[in-house]
Structure 1
Amino acid sequence: MNNLIKKTIDKWGNSQGIRIPKDMLSKIGIDNPVGQTVEIDVKGNSLTIQKKDSRSALQKRFENFDVEKYFKENGSREVDWGKPVGKEVF
């Protein structure tokens, strides 16, 4: 299947832009493009656009964390923060 399309470069403020069709973005795993990080590289007379992971370091650390399993193994979801030290009465 041929993925070649022709697009016109438009001026956006002080930059230039090309609108990429949604179906093309979906083919590279970008279903929600707003805020998606991409890497753009120049190779010869071509531009290459690749999807990059937009998750924060904290999100990556917890990607396989199973909260239900954690609480089953460690008991209650309540946390004992100790006695009040000020006016924080609940």
Structure 2
Amino acid sequence: MYTTIQKWGNSQAVRLPKAILELAKIQEKDRVELKVENGSIIIRPVKKHKSLKERIAEHNGDYECSEWDTGKPAGKEVW
């Protein structure tokens, strides 16, 4: 998809098509990070902080605590 850089006040602007925003899961008023890498402009969404209320709402109750094997001792952990 192609677009054109246009004047917007004292700046330049690019319109982002709705389809591109939907694919990137970015909505109006979302925060984004702008970077230049190897001469390319990168626009990345800033991860949104979830509130405790949002995290609890997503919990479906299937988590179970368990032990895991971290492997053999590598140093002087065991006496």
TM-score normalized by the length of structure 2 = 0.61
Q: Is residue 12 from structure 1 mapped to residue 3 from structure 2 by the alignment?
A: no
What residue ranges of structure 2 are gaps of 5+ in the alignment? 58-79
Q: CA RMSD, aligned part only?
A: 1.7
For this pair of structures, how many residues does the alignment match? 57
Identity, in percent, stands at 33
Pairing 1:1-90 to 2, within 5 Å after superposition: 5-30=1-26, 33-55=27-49, 60-66=51-57
| SS of equivalent residue, structure 2 residue 20 | helix
Could you tell me how far apart the structure 1 residues matched to 2:48 and 2:10 are?
25
Q: What's the CA shift for 1:65?
A: 3.4
Q: TM-score, normalised by structure 1?
A: 0.54
Q: Deviation above 2 Å: which 4+ runs of structure 1?
A: 59-62
C-alpha distance in 2 between matches for 1:53 and 1:47: 19
Deviations 1:37-81 (A, max 9, x none): 0111101210111111345xxx52332235xxxxxxxxxxxxxxx
